[in-house]
Structure 1
Amino acid sequence: MEYEYENGGCLRSVFRSFVCVTLSLLLALHVYAYFWGPAREPLDGDFSDIRYVVTQLTRGLTEVNHKHERLKGEMERLSSALPAVAAAAERAKDALQPSARRTGQQALDVHDYDRQVADYALESAGGRVLSTGDTAEHVIYESPVGWALHVFTALVCRECLGARAMIRPGTLPGECWAFKGSHGEATIRLLGTVQITGFSVEHIPAHISPTREISSAPRLIQIEGLEFRSDPYPHDFGSFEYDKEGKPIQYFEVQHPSTKGYNIVRVRVLTNWGHPVYTCVYRVRVHGDLVTGQAPRATTASDDADLRIENE
């Protein structure tokens, strides 16, 4: 931009120099004609010509000045618009980045997240909760009758959630896996063998929580990959902190990638955001690439016992 301003100033200087030189030559010529010329009459006509030329040159200079001012105004307008254009270009660049390779917390559209990133732990696609270890499920009504009803429904009604809530799509207030305290774990079998690249954790935002706070949200989460259910040497993918002030769905890229594929993962919740009684896990997603040639194993009737959650 500055270069064009310099060109405009240089052009004006050259034009003014040309006008001055021309006027000087014409004045010298007419002075010569006045003192040494043959007659006085042609001199008046020559001065008329000079006035005409000077008038035309003055109009041309005025027009150049007007064009220069207009050009300067356009350049200032473009300069003021450049920050907005740069910001729009940055937003477009961010939107075009591959969603599954983003680091840190996800910036995808939370309302259509499952259409943008594959979830290999999703129950409707074949994922299953195998075990919750020693984790004690939180039950609101802990009277003997309430506890008996809970145990009964857990045995006869496989649709009565528990830890399975965190691999299902519903994430309305209360549609979560609630367990006592701030420590808990769940072992999940994926729909196939997956080379895992990242995880997503979801919790409801504070503004739709009945208590207007989400201290029961998990805070520090550890993810492990297992070759079989009781694998004593699991692969540690890393520990991740869910930010309760961030977006409801947050994506984490694995800290310790593995070239090996896993079909079982263990999710360990190590701390929550301060709730003294229980922790709620609304949704956990597992992302990566299905290992080529490894088809998902079909669930049969003989698998039912293995698929039951151990602490129910």
Structure 2
Amino acid sequence: MRRHSNASHLRMGPADPCDGDGCLRNLFCTFVCVTLSMILGLQMYAYLWGPTQISLEGDISDVGHVVLQLSHGLTEVNRKHERLQSEMERLSSVLPSVAAAADRAKDALEPAVRRTSALDAGDYDRQHADYALETAGARILDTGNTVEHVIHESVVSWALHTLVSVMCNECLGARAIIRPESLPGECWAFKGSRGEATIRLLGPVRVTGFTLEHIPKHIAPTREISSAPRLVQLEGLEIKRDPYPHDFGTFEYNRDGKPIQYFEVRNPTAKGFSMVRLRVHSNWGHSVYTCVYRVRVHGELAMRSAGDNPDMQVENE
């Protein structure tokens, strides 16, 4: 019985490490650990010294190139900024002299502007000779079939005006076009859009041009000048009812232009005429009447004989 107990005790002691199942398990664990270690080592090597490092170095090189380009760009921007700043400083130093020159030019031009404005007003007659001026001896000879537009205040005034019109071919209101006044209402108003006036000049004149005047819109009571003449014609006459007048041309008065408008004759001639006829063919739309404020005839007197006295001739015209 004792021997049997000892044998049993010996069989129940600690297992041998080289036993079949334990030995295989240890070998497998060792293999797995070694394999994992090798794989981990290879991954570390590839990450630190393999192609990934080469790609990383390429990326770092590209980033460095971009940074270098940006640095060059910033340097160029700074250079342009400095150049622009120097140009601004130069312009700032030049501007005072430019402003002074502009002021001098303005001061020099203002007298010319004043002279031009003056020519549009009363001083025009002081700058250009007018051979159709009544105060110098010109006269209205005839107005043809033109009917004067008059607003009669009573039957008596209408009867008197009708009687005078029948007895005298000279339209009394037409004298306004050869007088120096040109205030609103001081004009020759005739019915409709067609009319004519024959003017005896100071003497035989070689006509080079004429001016037609009307009031501007801003001083017209109605703020519009549709009664202004539009198409006008100037003719030179040898006698009062010359069947073959010389046509100087047909011209258009611009209602949006200056009040005094000069027209150079289109068919000039060296011949002098003592009479001219102004024909108005249309106006700017007024259906009742047309107004002509002033007509001036420009040119030069034709040559006279040596025995003629110019003062006496002008006085006898």
TM-score tier by shorter-chain length is: 0.5 to 0.7
Structure 2 CA distance for aligned equivalents of residues 137 and 280 of structure 1: 10
1:146 positional shift: 3.6
Q: Does 1:235 align with 2:246?
A: yes
Find the counterpart in structure 1 of residue 299 from structure 2. 288
Pick the structure with greater CA Rg. Answer: 2
1:136 positional shift: 1.1
Find the counterpart in structure 2 of residue 171 from structure 1. 182
CA 1:163/1:94 → structure 2, altered by over 3 Å: closer, same or farther? same
CA 1:254/1:134 → structure 2, altered by over 3 Å: closer, same or farther? same
1:297 positional shift: 4.8
TM-score, normalised via structure 1 length:
0.62
C-alpha contact (below 8 Å) 2:142/2:171 kept by paired residues: no
Find the counterpart in structure 1 of residue 277 from structure 2. 266
CA 1:174/1:159 → structure 2, altered by over 3 Å: closer, same or farther? farther
1:210 positional shift: 2.2
Q: Does 1:210 align with 2:221?
A: yes
Residue identity opposite 1:215 in structure 2 = S
Residue identity opposite 1:201 in structure 2 = L
From 263, 268, 280, the equivalent of 1:257 is 268
Structure 1 CA distance for aligned equivalents of residues 168 and 241 of structure 2: 26
1:90 positional shift: 6.8
CA 1:144/1:69 → structure 2, altered by over 3 Å: closer, same or farther? closer
Find the counterpart in structure 2 of residue 248 from structure 1. 259
CA 1:76/1:286 → structure 2, altered by over 3 Å: closer, same or farther? same
Q: Write out per-residue CA displacement over residues 59-90 of structure 1, whole angstroms, 9 at most, x where no aligned residue.
A: xxxxxxxxx99876444444566666667767
CA 1:79/1:298 → structure 2, altered by over 3 Å: closer, same or farther? closer
1:257 positional shift: 1.2
Q: Does 1:118 align with 2:129?
A: yes
1:245 positional shift: 1.7
CA 1:137/1:93 → structure 2, altered by over 3 Å: closer, same or farther? closer
Find the counterpart in structure 2 of residue 304 from structure 1. none
Q: Does 1:187 align with 2:176?
A: no
Q: Does 1:198 align with 2:209?
A: yes
Where do residues 217-228 of structure 1 align in structure 2 (5 Å cutoff)? 217-228=228-239
Structure 2 CA distance for aligned equivalents of residues 226 and 171 of structure 1: 27
Percentage identity across aligned positions?
60
Q: Write out per-residue CA displacement over residues 34-74 of structure 1, whole angstroms, 9 at most, x where no aligned residue.
A: xxxxxxxxxxxxxxxxxxxxxxxxxxxxxxxxxx9987644
TM-score, normalised via structure 2 length:
0.61
CA 1:153/1:272 → structure 2, altered by over 3 Å: closer, same or farther? same
Structure 2 CA distance for aligned equivalents of residues 187 and 159 of structure 1: 9
Structure 2 CA distance for aligned equivalents of residues 157 and 230 of structure 1: 16
Aligned length: 225
Structure 1 CA distance for aligned equivalents of residues 145 and 165 of structure 2: 16
C-alpha contact (below 8 Å) 2:226/2:283 kept by paired residues: yes
Structure 2 CA distance for aligned equivalents of residues 191 and 248 of structure 1: 25
Which ranges in structure 1 are unaligned for 5 or more consecutive residues?
1-67, 100-105, 301-312
1:291 positional shift: 1.6
Find the counterpart in structure 2 of residue 141 from structure 1. 152
Structure 2 CA distance for aligned equivalents of residues 157 and 259 of structure 1: 33
RMSD between aligned alpha carbons?
A: 3.5
Structure 2 CA distance for aligned equivalents of residues 247 and 168 of structure 1: 19
Which has the bigger relative contact order, CA under 8 A and spacing at least 6? 1
Q: Classify the secondary structure of the residue corresponding to 1:178.
A: strand
Structure 1 CA distance for aligned equivalents of residues 190 and 105 of structure 2: 48
C-alpha contact (below 8 Å) 2:210/2:298 kept by paired residues: yes
Residue identity opposite 2:162 in structure 1 = V
CA 1:173/1:73 → structure 2, altered by over 3 Å: closer, same or farther? closer
CA 1:138/1:263 → structure 2, altered by over 3 Å: closer, same or farther? same
Q: Classify the secondary structure of the residue corresponding to 1:110.
A: coil
CA 1:217/1:291 → structure 2, altered by over 3 Å: closer, same or farther? same
Q: Classify the secondary structure of the residue corresponding to 1:149.
A: helix
Structure 2 CA distance for aligned equivalents of residues 235 and 131 of structure 1: 17
C-alpha contact (below 8 Å) 2:232/2:252 kept by paired residues: yes
